Amino acid sequence: MTSMISVQGLSVHFGALRAVDNIDLEIPKNQVRGLLGPNGAGKTTLVRVLATLLEPTSGTVTVGGHSVERHPNSVRSMIGLAGQYAAVDDLLTGRENLEIVGRLYQLPKTEARKRADEALERLSLTDAADRLVRTYSGGMRRRLDLGASLVGRPEVLILDEPTTGLDPRTRLELWAFLRDLVTEGATVLLTTQYMDEADELADRITVIDTGHVIADGTADELKARVGGDLVTASPKRRADLARVAELLTDIGSGAVRVDENQLTVSVPVDARVDALVRTAQRLDEAGIELSDLGVQRPSLDDVFLAITGKVGSDTTAPTETKRHRGRR
Amino acid sequence: MTRTLTDEHGSSTASPQRTGSIGLFNDAVAMTRRNLLRLFRTPQVIVFSTIQPVIFVLLFNFVFGGAIDFAPGVTYIDYLVPGILVQTSLFASGNTAIGLTDDLQKGAIDRFRSLPMRHSAVLIGRTNADALRAALTMTIITIVGFLVGFRTDHYLGLLIGVLLAIAFAYAFNWVFAGFALYVKSPEAAQAGAFLPVFPLVFAASTFAPVDQMPGWLQPFAQHQPVSVTVDAIRALTRGEPAATKVLQSLTYTAAIIVVAVPIATRKFKRS
């Protein structure tokens, strides 16, 4: 298995701040890797190194076997970068934006035009192709930005928080386009602070915080670290809570948790369906009325909370991006 | 989904940088085009950057026109137009700083830097587009000059003079490109760009003869690049011998380019 992206012992320091501190990361060809972390975790710094925008303080970083330091132009012709700040030109039309990027990928004029048209078509921007970008909505700008990253037909796609700041509906819409892209066999590095986004799009997830890798695995593996599935029952009457807890004790594989405020009783289980059926039968036989009963997988939010002690989408953390980008 | 992002034959994946000057030329053309497109879609910027020197032409002509002593037969407007052309070239160069810092802040420069292009083309495209813009402004000023009484019998001389001013503007575009890369913010660029411009433009033969200035200022005022270029254009429009002054102006222009281009380029590559 050869790595498309190989990061060994990477550190990036800005003065006293260790934005990235001795990170190792291997991403095989055709894998979609989610890089998950809160603001200030070092995601953007890592992306900037991979995109040849920032030199490592120390460590070795290669993309497709090319060193980002020694052969940046070879790296640049392999990658497509789409960023959270959507670097598209307001005063140009969508098509002009993409054509110019195509020309800068060293494509001949006709090819640049053809690729621009293709990208516009794929991202459903054909109707808006000849409008100035300043008339675009936020979602359209992100799509155009994605389109710009596709013009060079990159083998490696770097998506830096592609949906940050979008409203939920626009995010879902963008996910549909992203899902298409990531299933097409490119190697993708996707940074995000949204657990559901990583869960939805990535094959494998690396969790980073304060410049370190703190966990790595598939979404299922990470969830397994928090514990298995959870059967949760909510009795209608508060008086039944204790009785429900007692009945669930020998169904679970761990301790029963009672939440007095939410009126729920939950217990970790191994065989989710079997456990759910037995719980339902037992509570029914005991004549306890329920308002809800279900089995849940822990979310990546739970995972993040369990590993770092912080909530994933914490937006109050200081951002390292402000320090070296100037904006956003 | 059967399509792949990567072309199976490998042929249409973006080729690693084209070799030599063809790649650079291609990139510089693309970047110049981009900046010109942006420019022409903000006509208010063109209008304002043209109105300002036109106001200078009118104001200086009517306010100082009678007050300044000249050799007999030389009207103030004939004296003024060459000065305004050079003043415009310097004031217009400040736009290079503003445009470049704006691109830096909006992330456009990051995108360009992640592309397999010649990165110096970003600066070349910017300075080219701004030089073309200065050319447009200078043409309008010359026309306004004619409307308020500017006369010359030496149209070829005038043309050469305008080209001299454009070359001068181009050199200063690079100075301000370098300046922009150091200050980084559009606000700082806007505020800082004019500081060195004012003494250069006013302690010069731009609007008034140098020999009426205080003695200590005269050596600087006489020999600094703005005066030399203004004097060269004046000589050209009057049909006086101009070769020496033209050569001096071109030497200044070339020297500024030789110093400013590597500084700006190196700063761009490192930041």
CA-nearest residue of chain A to B118? A104
CA–CA separation, B93 and B90 (whole Å) = 5
| Token pair belonging to B149 | 């009484």
- Give strand pairing partners of A82: A159
> What integer best gives the mean pLDDT of chain B?
87
CB contact under 8 A, B4 and A184: yes
User: What are the backbone angles phi and psi of residue B253, rounded to the nearest 5°?
Assistant: -55, -50
CB contact under 8 A, A152 and B13: yes
**Which residues from chain B sit within 8 angstroms of residue A106, using beta carbons?**
14-15, 17-18, 23, 26, 116-117
Enumerate chain A positions whose Cβ falls within 8 A of a Cβ in B.
Answer: 51-53, 73-74, 76-79, 81, 83, 85-87, 89, 91-92, 96, 100-101, 103-107, 111, 132, 148, 150, 152-155, 157, 180-181, 183-186, 325-328
Give first-to-last CA distance, chain A, whole Å.
37
- List, for residues B8-63, the tens digit of each pLDDT value: 333 334 444 445 567 889 999 999 999 999 988 988 877 887 888 889 888 888 88
Picking from B264, B68, B239, B38, the residue whose alpha carbon sits closest to that of residue B155 is B239
Judge whether A222 and A243 are in contact, CB under 8 Å. Answer: no
Picking from B72, B50, B31, the residue whose alpha carbon sits closest to that of residue B142 is B50
Q: Which among A104, A110, A153, A321 is the top mutation candidate for probing chain B, defined by the most B β-carbons within 10 Å of its own β-carbon?
A: A104
How many A×B Cβ pairs under 8 Å? Answer: 124
Q: For residue A275, is pLDDT > 50?
A: yes
Picking from A295, A298, A293, the residue whose alpha carbon sits closest to that of residue A263 is A293
Question: Per-residue pLDDT averaged across B107-121, rounded?
Answer: 90
CA–CA separation, A80 and B139 (whole Å) = 42
What pLDDT is stored for residue A202 in this prediction? 92
The gap from C-alpha A203 to its chain's centroid, in whole angstroms, comes to: 10
CB contact under 8 A, A76 and B12: no
CB contact under 8 A, A132 and B116: no
CA–CA separation, A112 and B193 (whole Å) = 37
User: How far away is chain A from the Cα of B32, in angstroms, using its nearest Cα?
Assistant: 10
What pLDDT is stored for residue B12 in this prediction? 39
Judge whether B78 and B152 are in contact, CB under 8 Å. Answer: yes
> What integer best gives the mean pLDDT of chain A?
86
Least confident of A124-138, A154-168, B173-187, B234-248: A154-168
- List, for residues A104-126, the tens digit of each pLDDT value: 999 999 999 999 999 999 889 99
CA–CA separation, A41 and A12 (whole Å) = 12
Q: What percent of chain B has pLDDT over 70?
A: 89
pTM tops 0.90, yes or no: no
Q: In three state form, how does the secondary structure of A170-235 look?
A: HHHHHHHHHHHHHCCCCEEEEEECCHHHHHHHCCEEEEEECCEEEEEECHHHHHHHHCCEEEEEEE
- List, for residues B245-264, the tens digit of each pLDDT value: 999 999 999 999 999 999 99
**Which residues from chain A sit within 8 angstroms of residue B5, using beta carbons?**
150, 153-155, 157, 181, 184-186
- List, for residues B166-212, the tens digit of each pLDDT value: 999 999 999 999 999 999 888 888 888 878 888 899 999 998 888 88
**Which residues from chain A sit within 8 angstroms of residue B12, using beta carbons?**
111, 153
CA–CA separation, A300 and A196 (whole Å) = 7
**Which residues from chain A sit within 8 angstroms of residue B38, using beta carbons?**
89, 91-92
CA–CA separation, A84 and A104 (whole Å) = 21
What pLDDT is stored for residue B20 in this prediction? 57
**Structural domains of chain A, with CATH:** 3-78+155-223+308-325 (3.40.50.300), 228-297 (3.30.70.100)
- 33-62 in chain B: CB under 8 A from chain A: 33-34, 37-38, 41-42
- Cβ-in-10-Å burial (0-12, 13-18, 19+) of B70 comes to exposed
Residue type, A14: F
Of A83, A86, A153, the CB nearest to B5: A153
CA–CA separation, A229 and A28 (whole Å) = 30
Q: What percent of chain A has pLDDT over 90?
A: 47
What pLDDT is stored for residue B71 in this prediction? 62
Helix axes A94-104, B20-40, angle to 10 degrees: 160
SS3 A4: strand
∠ CA A23-A26-A27 to the nearest 5 degrees? Answer: 130
DSSP A297: P
Query: B4 at the A interface (CB within 8 A)?
Result: yes
| Token pair belonging to A288 | 């306890």
User: How far away is chain A from the Cα of B2, in angstroms, using its nearest Cα?
Assistant: 7
Query: B271 at the A interface (CB within 8 A)?
Result: no
Of B1, B41, B112, the CB nearest to A132: B41
Query: B119 at the A interface (CB within 8 A)?
Result: no
